Chain A
Amino acid sequence: MEILISTAIGFLVACGIYLMLRARTMDVVIGLTMLSYAVNLFLFASGRLVSNAAALISPDAAAYADPLPQALVLTAIVIGFGMTAFLVVLAIRAFGDLGNDHVDGETGKK
C-alpha cells in the first residue's frame, strides 16, 4: 500500500510541477493548487497513515491518528486557499494591465 500512496503523491507533484512550468498564468495557478494538494498529503503522510483510528480522545480508543501533522495540514489547506486566491487575482491583474496571460508578461518567443 505504501508504494501506491507514495506513487500517487509523487504523481500529483509531477502533474503540478509540469503545469507550473507552462507559460500561461492560469496553468500555473492550477499547477500550484495541485502541488499544494500533494504537499498537504505528504505532510499528512509524515505522521504515518492509519485507517479506523480514533480522531477524538475517548477512553476506549485503541490507537489515535497523529494529530500534529493534521493540525499543520489544516492550516496549510486554508493558507493554500489564500495563496491560490492571491495568485489568481494577480494573474487577472497582469492580464488586465499587460493584455496577455503569459507568465513573462509578453507573448511570442524570443
Chain B
Amino acid sequence: MTLLLIVLIPLLGALLVPVAAARGRMGAALMAGALTAAALGLLLTLAPQVFAGETLVSSWAWMADIGLYFSFRLDGLGLLFALLILGIGLLVIIYATYYLSPKDSMPKFFTYMMLFMGAMLGVVLSENLILLLIFWELTSLTSFLLVSFWRHRADARQGARMALALTGGGGLCLLAGILLLGEIVGSYELSVVLASAELIQNHDLYTPALILILLGAFTKSAQFPFHFWLPHAMAAPTPVSAYLHSATMVKAGVFLLARMHPALSGSDLWFYLVTSAGLITLVFAAYVALFRHDLKGLLAYSTISHLGLITLLFGFGTPLAAVAGVFHIINHAIFKASLFMAAGIIDHEAGTRDMRILSGLFKYMPYTAVLAMVAAAAMAGVPLLNGFLSKEMFFVETLALQRFGDWAWLIPALATLAGVFAVAYSLRFIHDVFFNGEPKNLPKVPHEPSRWMKIPVEVLVTLCLLVGIFPAFTVGPLLATAAEGVLQAQIPEYSLAIWHGFNTAIVMSIVALVGGSLFYLLRHRLFALHDRLLPSEFGAKQIFDKIIQSLINTSRWITHLLENGSLQRYMALLVGAAITVGLYAAMQHGAINLTTSGAVIPVNGIAIAILIGLMLSGLGTVILHRRRLPALVMLGVVGLCVSLLFVYFSAPDLALTQLSVEVVTIILLLLALHFMPQEVAADSSYSRRWRDAALAGGAGVGVASLTWAILTSPFETLSDFYLEQSVPGGGGTNVVNVILVDFRGFDTFGEITVLAIAAIGIHALLQNLMIKPNAPGRYGWATAKPPLLLEVVSRPLLPLALMVAIYLMLRGHNQPGGGFIAGLVVGIALVMQYLASGVVWTQARLRIDYFKVIAIGLILSLLTGVASWLLGYPFMTTTFTYLHWPVVGKFEVASATVFDLGVFLTVVGITMVILAELGKLSGPMAPGQVLDDKENR
C-alpha cells in the first residue's frame, strides 16, 4: 500500500498544486515540495527492508484477463531510481522556484512536474510490464508538456514535438516488444519474466522482442541514431533539463536495460546490438559535445555520451559491468544535474549561454564558479570525485572484455578517446565561461544568484565529493543493493577504493586527462578544421524533418485521393467498395446456389403483376427523377406495390404500416418540394451516368443474387419460440405485435427514442431557417382557398379516424394493428385537417405541443418498463390478465398495452412535429407573414 502511495502522491498531488496556487506562487512551490518530501519520506520507511534484501511487491487486479495488474515492486534498482527521482526532484523544485520568472506560470510548471514525477516513479516501481509501459508513455507525454513549457517559442514547440515523436514512437515499439515477451513467458509480471531467461532466449520470438524493446530503450535514452531529439529538447526551461535530461527521463532507457538485464542479456544479439549502440554514441556524442557553443548543447551531447557509456556497460552483459553501469547512473545523475543547474544560473545571471560570448565570469560569481568547476571535474573523471570512480570501473571492464581476440584493444582505445573528448569539453565548459579574459558584450551585468538557487547545486556538489572520497561509506550499500536488484542475484566481489595501484586503467585515465588538455589547447585549430570539414549540423534533424514532411505529404495525398470533399464521390466509393467486398466474399465461398432447385413459392398471376408494377414504377421514378412531382407520384406507386406485396405474403401488420407511412412520406416530400428546385437540368455527364448505372446495376445484381440464394436455401428460424410463447407468455395472438411490445420491448423503446431524437433534430434544423420565398423553379404555395368539399369532408373525418386509431391500437395485441400503425393513422388524420383547412385555422384549434406528446409517450413506455422493475421483475417484463365486465364481457388487459400507448403517442407526436414544422415554414404561418385568420380562409 505504501508503495502505491509513493506513486499516487505526485500523480494526485498534481491536482493539489493549482489549488495551493490560490495562495500565490509560493503556495504552488511549497505544495510541490511538500508532496515530494512526503513521497520521499514514505520511500525511506521502506528502504531498510530493501537493504535487507527483500523485494516488496503489492498487486491489485486491473484487467486480469489480458494480464494487466496494478502491481508495484520495490527492489534495489527501483529504490535507487526512486531516490534519484524524488531526491533530485526536491532539489529541482527548490531551484525552479527561484529560476522561473514572474511571467512564467508557476502552478502550471509544478503541476507538470508532479505529473512527470509520478509517471517516472511508476516506470521504476512497476511490477507489471504493461503498467510499466503505461507510465513510460506518460513520461513521454508529460515531458512534452514540460519541454514546450515556453510555448510561445517556436524552438520549444519543435523540440517538444520531436522528442514526443521519437520517444512516443519508441514507446510503441516497446509495447510490441513487451507483448511478444508476455506471449513467450505467459505473464507480464517482472518476477516471472526475470526468472525465465532460458525460456525467453531460446524462443523464436526472442530476436524481434529484443529488437523492439531495445528500440524503446534507445529512443528514450537518446542512443545513436535516435540521439538528436535530446539537444533540441534543450529549449526546455533549465530546471526541466536538469531533471528530465540528466537524472530521470533519459535514464528510463538505461533503467529498462538494467531492469531486463537478467531476462534478456547474455546472448550474442544483445551484446552486439547494445554495445555497438553504446560505443558509437559514447564516442560520437563526446566528439560533438566539444563543438557545441551553447552551454546546454554541450551538456546535452555530454549526457548522450554518458548514456552511451552506461548502455555499453550493460551491453557487456557481465555482472561487474552491470555494477559499473549502476554506479555511473548514480554519479552521472549527481554531477550532470548540478552542471545543468549551474548552466541555468549562468544563463539567468549573464543573459546568455553562448560560450563564444561568455568569458571571465569567475570575477563576478566566484562561488558558483567553484561549484561548477567541481562538478565539471567530476564529469571529466578527475580523481577524488565520483565521476572518476565509475569511469575507472568502466575502463577496467573494457579491458576485461575478451570477446574480440586480436581486436581486444579496440574498445579500450575508443573508450580512452571518448575520455579525451570528455576532458576537453569539461575544460571548455570551465575555461570559456569563467576565465578566458574579461567578459564583453554580455546582455546583463552578471552577479551571484540568490541563495536558494545555489543550495541545490551545493548539495549535489557535496555529494560528488563525498562519493568521490569515501565511496565505500557513502554510496557503497546503495550501490550493492541496486546492483543486486539489477542482477537479481548475488553480486560479485568488487572494491570501491580510490586507488587500485598502478594499472592499465589508471594509464587510460591519465591519457584522457593529458590528451584532453592538449586537445583543448589546440581547440582553435580544431574548430577551424571542424567547420571546414563538417560545416553545419550532422543533418539528423534535417533527415528527421524530411521524413516527417514526406509522411505528411503521403497521408495528405492518400486523404485527398479518397476524401476530396465531394459527397457524391464518397457515395460512389462506398457503393463500389461494398460491391467489391461482396464480390470477394462470393468468390471466396463460391457456392451461392443460383438454381431454381430450392424454389417453393408457387407462381401466381397476382404476385407477378405486383412485382412487375413494382419494377415499372421504380424505373419510372428513375426516368422522371428530374421532374420532381411526377417522380414523387411514381415513388408513391412503388410504396403501394410494396404494401401489396406484404399483403400477398401474409404480413398484414407490415402492409398497414407501409401504407400509412407511405402517405405520410409522400405528403412530407410534397411539402419539401415547395422549398426545393422543382425541375433541374441534367448536370451529370454521360460517362458519369454510365458509371453510376454500372455501380447501381452491380449492387442490384448482388442483392438479387443474395435474395435468390436465401430464398432457395433451407430454412431454420428462431421464430418457433415466439409462436409458441406468444399466447401463454405475451397474452396476444398477433405475434408481430407481441414481439414488438413484449419480447423485444426494449428494442422498440430504443427505436421510438431514436425517432424522438430525429424529431428534435428536425426542429433544430428548421430554427432560423432563411429560405427565400418564390425563388425561381419552385412551386408557389397555393394561395387559393382549399376546396370546400375537402374541408367539409375532413371535419367529421377526424373523430372517425381517431376512433379507428384507438380501435387499431387496442386490438393490436391480438389482431393486426398496434401503436405504430394507430399513431400513423392519427397523424394522417391531423395532417388532413391542415391540408383541408389551412395551417392557421388548424393551429388555432389544435393547440397541442407535440413535443409534450412525444415526451409523455416516451415516459409512459419507460414507466411500463420501470414498473416491472419496482415489482421485482426484470426490466420490461409484462403481465396480463382477463377481466369480466358486465355487458362488455371477458376482455384482456395487458401491461404491454400501456407500453403500446406510449409508442402510439410518440409516433403521433413525431409525425406531427415533422409535418407541422415544415408546413408552418411556408404559407401564412411563415415568419414575417402575419395574416388574419379569416382573410386566409
Contact = CB atoms under 8 A, between A and B. Distances in A.
Interface of A: 1-27, 29-30, 33-34, 37-38, 40-42, 44-58, 64-68, 70-71, 73-75, 77-86, 88-93, 95-97, 101, 103-104, 107
A21 B683 CA distance: 12
Given A5-B611, A21-B696, A96-B769, 11 more contacts: A1-B607, A9-B703, A15-B619, A21-B571, A24-B680, A55-B734, A68-B718, A68-B739, A84-B665, A95-B676, A96-B675
B607 A51 contact: yes
13 contacts: A6-B706, A12-B618, A19-B622, A23-B683, A24-B683, A38-B703, A51-B607, A64-B735, A71-B744, A86-B758, A88-B672, A88-B918, A92-B769
Given A85-B914, A89-B765, A18 B693 contact: yes
B697 interface: yes
Given A15-B619, A55-B652, A92 B697 contact: no
A15 B699 CA distance: 10
Interface string B11-47: 0000000000000000000000000000000000000
A56 B733 contact: yes
Contacts of A75: 740, 747-748, 751, 820
A34 B635 contact: yes
Interface in B627-658: 628, 631-632, 635, 638-639, 642, 645-646, 648-654, 657-658
A3 B675 CA distance: 41
A22 B658 CA distance: 26
A57 B726 contact: yes
B803 interface: no
B502 interface: no
Nearest to A14: B700
Contact of A93 (B740, B769, B824): B769
Contacts of A44: 646, 649, 651, 654
A10 B594 CA distance: 14
Interface of B: 565-568, 571-572, 575, 596, 598-599, 601-604, 607-608, 611, 614-615, 618-619, 621-622, 625, 628, 631-632, 635, 638-639, 642, 645-646, 648-654, 657-658, 661, 664-665, 668-669, 672-673, 675-677, 680, 683-684, 692-693, 695-697, 699-708, 710-712, 715, 717-719, 722-723, 726-727, 733-736, 739-740, 744, 747-748, 751, 754-755, 758-759, 761-762, 765-766, 769-771, 814-816, 820, 824, 907, 910, 914, 917-918
The 3 closest A-B pairs by CB, nearest first: A10-B704, A14-B700, A18-B696
A33 to B, nearest CB: 6
A51 to B, nearest CB: 6
A30 B673 CA distance: 12
A96 B758 contact: no
A77 B163 CA distance: 55
Chain B CB within 10 Å — which of A20, A45, A57, A97 has the most?
A: A57
Contact of A33 (B599, B635, B771, B917): B635
A101 B571 contact: no
Contact of A34 (B571, B601, B618, B907): B618
B678 to A, nearest CB: 9
A42 B707 contact: yes
B650 A52 contact: yes
Contacts of B619: 11, 15
A72 B186 CA distance: 45
B676 A34 contact: no
Contacts of B650: 50-55, 65
B191 to A, nearest CB: 53
B588 to A, nearest CB: 21
A56 B762 contact: no
A74 B740 contact: yes
Contacts of A93: 765-766, 769
A19 B623 CA distance: 10
Contacts of A27: 625
A13 B684 contact: no
Contacts of B765: 86, 89-90, 92-93
